[in-house]
Copies of this chain bind each other. A is one copy, B any other.
Amino acid sequence: MGFSIKENILIDKIIEQALLEDIGTGDITSESIIPSNLKAKGIIKSSEEGVVAGLDVACLVFQKLDSEIIFQKKIKDGTKVTRGKVLAEITGPARTILKGERVALNFLQRISGIATITSKFCQEVKDFPVRILDTRKTTPGLRILEKYAVRMGGGYNHRFGLYDAVLIKDNHIAVAGGIKSAVNSVQKQISHMTKIEVEVENLSQLQEALEMKVDIIMLDNMNSDTMRKAVKIVKGKALIEASGGITLDNVREIAQTGVDLISIGCLTHSVKSLDISMEIKNVSRIS
């Protein structure tokens, strides 16, 4: 189910950069203390409840350092775990396991943190036919992983970047001299495979967007009442996305208005890492 990590060249490069950043010219502590022929097992455990994701990334971190590392996943990405759950076991040279530990955990904790908060939002709205969406407010350089995390938490992805879908915002509308003219410019030039979304600030803009037959209409910072009216006006002729100021406290109320989509910047712009750690075991010298 869902997009793969292992064969993705972009993720490979992200991991390489992260290892270069942390290890640079060498792990001077481990290389001084840990003999190169020492084998060990690393146990990765969750220290708190949450939804885990990113195990393939952690695996690739260690394998990039030494192709002979064996990394066994004990759960699938997207699994909700309780405190103490073993997530994976790593076998190989003790040095490599220690070298890769921090980078692997940094990835795993962040990706799991995002999956966990996303999952909480999804839980809140589980009684409604609405999707929880991410935004482009992601950590620079890690978008592909953060959008993966959102999916693993039960959410859905908005457009990936500026290149794969059209989102006409207030500034575009202002420059174009109105929604109609802005959408027109786009429709004439854009691929037939590309959807068009327009951000509206009031119901009259909503009307205008609807007439232009756009695919999605984003209600920017509207209150629940206005959203409900918007849903009635649109009547399924476009998807409706609620956006702006959404929290765990108000998301259920917003879902009740009947919108199709709820996009939430804080899924990725303000992340609390999930607490995950690694223990070393079974150290033994290779004969």
Contacts and interface: CB of A to CB of B under 8 A. Distances in A.
Interface of A: 1-4, 6-10, 14-36, 38, 40, 64-66, 94-96, 98-99, 102-103, 105-107, 109-110, 113, 131, 133, 136-144, 147, 151, 156-169, 171-172, 174-176, 182, 185-186, 188-195, 197, 215-216, 239, 241, 260-261, 269-273, 280, 283
B38 A158 contact: no
Contacts of A32: 2, 166, 185-186, 188-190
A23 B241 CA distance: 23
Given A31-B3, A216-B193, A8 B22 contact: no
Contacts of A14: 140-141
Contact of A174 (B106, B167, B261, B283): B283
Contacts of A175: 33-34, 38, 40, 94, 280, 283
Nearest to A19: B9
B176 A33 contact: yes
Interface centre among A19, A106, A168, A193 (most CB of B within 10 A): A193
A170 to B, nearest CB: 9
A111 to B, nearest CB: 10
Interface SS of A by simple majority:
mixed
A286 to B, nearest CB: 14
A162 B99 contact: yes
Nearest to A263: B192
A162 B27 contact: yes
Contacts of A272: 270
Contacts of A21: 140-141, 143-144, 161
Contacts of A20: 9-10
A26 B163 contact: yes
Contacts of A24: 10, 24, 160-164
9 contacts: A9-B23, A17-B141, A32-B186, A33-B168, A99-B162, A141-B141, A158-B192, A193-B216, A270-B271
A14 B133 CA distance: 26
Contact of A194 (B103, B138, B195, B283): B195
Given A33-B182, A164-B165, A270-B273, 18 more contacts: A7-B65, A8-B25, A17-B141, A22-B161, A28-B165, A29-B169, A29-B172, A32-B186, A32-B189, A33-B185, A102-B137, A139-B139, A158-B191, A158-B192, A159-B193, A175-B280, A192-B241, A270-B272
A22 to B, nearest CB: 5
A191 B273 contact: no
B273 A29 contact: no
A2 B31 contact: yes
A163 B144 CA distance: 12
